[in-house]
Chains A and B, each alone.
Chain A
Amino acid sequence: MEHLELFLKSIFIDNMVFATFLGMCSYLAVSKKVSTAVGLGAAVIFVLAITVPLNWLLDQYLLQPGALVWLGAEYAEYDLSFLSFIMFIATIATMVQLVEIVVEKFSPSLYNSLGIFLPLIAVNCAILGGSLFMQSREIPTLGLATVYGIGSGIGWFLAILSIAAIREKIRYSNVPAPLRGLGITFIITGLMAIGFMSFGGMLTGGDEEPQEEQKTVMPKEEINTTPSIENKKAEEKKENEKVLANNIKVNE
């Protein structure tokens, strides 16, 4: 149940593109045709499904404060967490190289159509973002980390697939000239993101969001608004910030 919940959450509620804007560069650049979008989306799912659990292992047994305790009691004090960026990106770069070799071997046509964007998966924020969110949300088990990786990948795939389909059709519409191409894509993405926000209540029953998330982001604001808490405005403002906090997703 826990796994299914995280799976759905990472696809719809915390969708990589619509909630956190990760992987926007390739999302915008490769979404002109559905077929290329499918290829890149599949590559992203694959890379995320491998790198997130790998980086989870690295984080758990190497980087976290006290993670080195399996080497012996004298290592319990070590905290290597400042190295996590470099370790994560190294894992990702290696894996991407591997995927590139495999794709070139088994599907040259896909390799040609992806062109420059296959190596660029290495610098796709969605991939590194997946690992960093995995770390900052403190996902507890390897199984959950794998589910999170796959779910986020599918969410990204869904996003790029739908924008590619829309862009193929929008060619026949009369878009104002200065908005053509990039501008309208941004606005459509914004509207799609608003649509995806409606998934927000899917798993909570639509009632309350977890409390502590909001506290970590806006303690300053809270102090300001507490004296007049009965005031409706203040509550509205807090409500907005709660949503904002959820979008930025800061966890201690």
Chain B
Amino acid sequence: MGLLSKKDSKLILDPLADNNPITIQVLGICSALAITAELEASIVMAISVLAVLAIGNVVISLMRNIIPSKIRIIVQLVVVAALVIIVDLILKAYSYQLSKTLSVFVGLIITNCIIMGRFEAFALANGPWRSFLDGIGNAAGYGLILVIVGFFRELLGSGTLLGIQVLGDPIEKTGLYALGYENNGFMLLSPMALIVVGMIIWVQRSRNKALIEDH
């Protein structure tokens, strides 16, 4: 990338794999898992977090020299809350059905630990452009896990992707269902999200031994 120096592109690429916010830093799991039963909801959630984190990082970074450190948490919360209200209103205006499905989880972006974590760890100490890249990178790393989990849960749970039936019709018995394949309804239940993330962590750490923890 000619536009970005090596150091800058590292900001974006690192959180995608070896420093992933969900599987390595253990941040932002709270509002993530409950909405991954459908791929569409996962994608919308990922985009919302991307917007909030990138813009929020820039705002905090611009204000970093004038925020008194004692009240910084409240300042950060107000910035996130304002951004989340905007996202929520946009969602309500343009895709009401989806905002009903996401219900309170849009509001819970406010308390998404990734956002506060990045504000604290990065935006308070770096310039706006680098903070913006950092925000994009981390939100993308978060979105990546969300989309992977959403993909598997929707595919195996209801045999659809983005609401389109990709494995054939379960009622008419076409496609895979003609061979006796059954949807695994269990994948739609919330506990499976945790187990799928556990599997992702397993795969990731088997490939990169350096990430293995000792208990």
Q: Is A178 an interface residue (CB 8 A)?
A: yes
How far, in whole Å, are A189 and B201 apart by their CA atoms in the complex?
Answer: 14
B190 touches A193 (CB 8 A): yes
Interface residue B30 (Cβ < 8 Å from any Cβ of A): yes
Which A residues touch B81, using CB under 8 A?
Answer: 85-86, 89
The answer to whether B194 touches A248, judged by C-beta atoms less than 8 angstroms apart, is no
List of A residues within 8 angstroms of B193 by Cβ: 21, 190
Contact in complex: A136, B194 (CB < 8 Å): no
Closest-CB distance, B165 to chain A (whole angstroms): 10
Q: How far is the CA of A193 from the CA of B189 in the complex (A)?
A: 10
B191 engages A18 (CB within 8 Å): yes
A9: min CB distance to chain B, Å: 16
Inter-chain contact B30/A190, CB cutoff 8 Å: no
* Contact assessment for A193 and B29 in the assembled complex, using a CB-CB cutoff below 8 Å: no
B42 within 8 A of A: no
Q: How far is the CA of A233 from the CA of B112 in the complex (A)?
A: 38
Interface members, chain B 106-161 (any A CB < 8 Å):
107-108, 110-113, 116, 157-158
A69 CB to nearest chain B CB (Å): 24
Total count of chain B residues near the partner, CB < 8 A: 62
User: Hey, which bits of chain B sit against chain A, CB under 8 A?
Assistant: 23, 26-35, 37, 73-74, 77-78, 81-82, 84-85, 88-89, 97, 100-101, 103-104, 107-108, 110-113, 116, 157-158, 163, 170-171, 183, 185, 188-195, 197-198, 201-206, 209, 212-215
> Interface size on A (CB < 8 Å)?
72
Q: Which residues does chain B contribute within 8 Å of A112, judged by CB atoms?
A: none
CA distance A29 to B27 in the complex (A): 9
- 19 A-B pairs within 8 Å (CB atoms) are namely A25-B28, A82-B85, A82-B89, A84-B107, A85-B84, A89-B77, A122-B73, A123-B116, A124-B111, A171-B215, A177-B212, A197-B191, A217-B101, A220-B97, A237-B158, A239-B185, A240-B158, A241-B188, A249-B103
